[in-house]
Chains A and B, each alone.
Chain A
Amino acid sequence: MARLLLLVPTTSYRAPDFMAAAARLGVEVIVGCEAAQPAAPLSAGGLVAVDFRNPNRGIAQIADLDAARPLDAIVGVDDASVPIAARAAAALGLPHNPPAAVAASGDKHAFRRALAAAGLPTPPFRRLGLGADPAAAARRAPYPCVLKPLALSASRGVIRADDAAGFVAAFARIATLLRRPEVAAGLGRLGQAILVEGFIPGREVALEGLLVAGRLHVLALFDKPDPLDGPFFEETLYVTPARLAPEAREAVAAMARRTVAALGLREGPVHAEFRLNAAGVWPIEMAARSIGGLCSRTLRFATGLALEDLILRRALGETAPPPPPLEGAAGVMMIPIPASGRLVRVDGIEQARAVPGIEDVRITVPIGQVLVPWPEGDRYLGFVFARGDDPDTVEAALRAAHARLSFAIESVAEAIDASRRRTETAP
């Protein structure tokens, strides 16, 4: 029986879907997490700790594991574990992406440099250390421009600036975010700088693909119909198939292939974003992982396979081209966080589920938790999933369902008062 090592960050949304796919495959699964798990002693070696932040140590841990129980594939399921998966697979001679290519895809400055070196469309860009003088940098910035951390995902910390004052304010805000201990610890040296690049206007699409021996198979192309013009870039709607003319679709796929080649990626999933305008197709980002959050649940393929099935099958050596997606359209809304404060209640979930075309509504922030809006926030309120005959119907269903949801959020001051009242009234 084949043996698969899944590297699962403890804060990943992706664990359930990858675990389900692994169970469907019927292979032996070992899960590696960056933190020791309480269930590890129960697992007979099926749940192990792997140091994601110290790659050399983590790779040694995986090599020890492989020596005792030879592995057939190593799959990193999210940003924090993809790099070490690539490096460990390379060390063990398993199918993998070149580690340098994975590193370039996870560093937005390295990504821009790789694209520029390959002659791909790239806005002017510059890397600024956190200790740089933002006022001086603002004088040389191309406006409008976008300031972004080098490594955070889901547009966290990404801010548009239209003038010098906006630049200085954005720089300070991102620097404050990057200096938070939990953020700084996770990012390492990538948390020491900010990327400034020219704002690329236009319509944004996302591409989901699977690389098989260097060949990119486009699995899905998503519209992102909400305008993403800033100042922040919180993601909301994804609808597939994208409502693009066939030539535009092919242009995006062609640019994705060129981006893959520029980075040197060869194996496994890619999730990429592009903008389209009169000048053509512009790569925004490309990650060597699958789509984040719970969004992969919008994708179903012929013979009933899920995206995670395709990824794991390829990792274990399947060479057949991935099957096409099912007919029809699908979409997901990453429910935006409307305000900061403590989530007290969510109303209208059943009414939202009752909207025709809606498949599910999942609130993923527990009641009682503090919500932090973008650009500092790092989690969605939840997800709404829809399916229908065409993208317009799906988008309308997602918006209608979202309109039925309401969120009671109390400010931090109110939360403190409420806690005090509960204490005072305790019998």
Chain B
Amino acid sequence: MLWLALELPSLPLQLAERGGGSSAALVISEGAAQRPVVLCANRAAKDAGIREGVAVAAAKALAGELRILQRDPSAELDCLERLAAWAGQFTPMSCVDGQGIALEVESTQRLFDGHAKLSASIRRGIHELGFHATLGIAPTPLAARIFARAQAQGIPVRSCLDEREITERIASLPLFLMDWPHEALARLTDLGVLRFRDILDLPAEGIARRFGPAITASLDRLVGKLADPRVPHVPPPRFRSRIELPAEAEGVEALLFPLRRLLAEFEGAMRGRGAGVQRLMLALEHARKARTRLALDFSSTEREAEFILAIAREKLGRLALPAPTIALDLRAEALLAYVPRESTWLPGAQEQALDRDRLVERLAARLGNDKVFGIAVADDHRPESNWKRERARRKAEPGSSAPRPCFLLNRPQRLIAEDGTPALQGALELIAGPERIEAGWWDGAEVSRDYYVAANPRGETFWIFREHHAEGAWYLHGVFA
């Protein structure tokens, strides 16, 4: 077994700053309401001299303008669970562990070309999500966790691949990296037992008697003497994620950066499940205003963040937002099976069909659905009903053989006629016709016309007709372009 542990130091702070960092001092508070203490502080707050563990009241005195957020453990757990779901793309065994997640990667590292490349792509992925994490790799989950925590503390640790080497590698690491009770750690410190080297040299029975069997059991799990089974996180069959913006965002451009992070998370979670969606709901939350909802619909199952972002960008560009945005919420209810498409050197028919669908979607997203359409022949003799708009790309039947103009006017245009001869930039000479079209008496839109092909002296050729009922009334209906 090979475990990869991700530790997210100062997770509450990372959560607060994920929508984009801000230069204002920010601290996360925790503890009793009478005397809250600073759990973590951002760079600006640290520069002002605020240390972790001081009272919030003292912190306020240090920084002139301080933003204080209450810690929200449920949001943290929620975030870690979503991260575990996101990590499902790397291994089926991912779970929430401590202040981070743990992945079993022995079975899948070959797929990713070794653990070094795998951890590099996980690192990159975490960064795209907007998080900062340290990685530890070890044969037991607990050792991996200790390594990741050590790195978060600034102690450099190399990854360990062999179970026999764990004892040697952890020897010089401090004991406080373990999740042991404070009293136990304090008493060990009093005894001069500070590092793993010291405690592993002591007889196990003595430690169990003094500090309880839980301590020795966790040491055995750490070095692999005792099995440490974990339960994989099973994500719910839907996707939901929310990101809060550090400041009220005016306009749409400012939303694209946090939206990219949401979509990266979405793509990872979908990869882990082998799923995609045809519909995504994006909600923009405003202060004191109803949220703006935006539905993203796709004709095929999609999950690629870049493509969805391009569609969303066009849709957002058309929105008029009632107020500045304070948070983004992305949801997908129905997850569908996703068939991955290989990218080939020479794109085949399937890839082209995909390009086409995506092109039509992108165009329709900005221009509107009624502005992008296909055309087909309809089963009707009336020229205005002889064609129809189609959802782009549908099979069509062949047309008739009588001459038809390339362009048809939206509605026939009345022509000036002198002595019964129609004119359009010069007298029109009839060069073909008449072709009588009588139809539509059954639905009230009756036409009874004689169609001619006519050309003016400049050679411009038109499709014109004479209304049968109104003698001498000529209309222009088409252009032989």
Chain A complexes with chain B: no
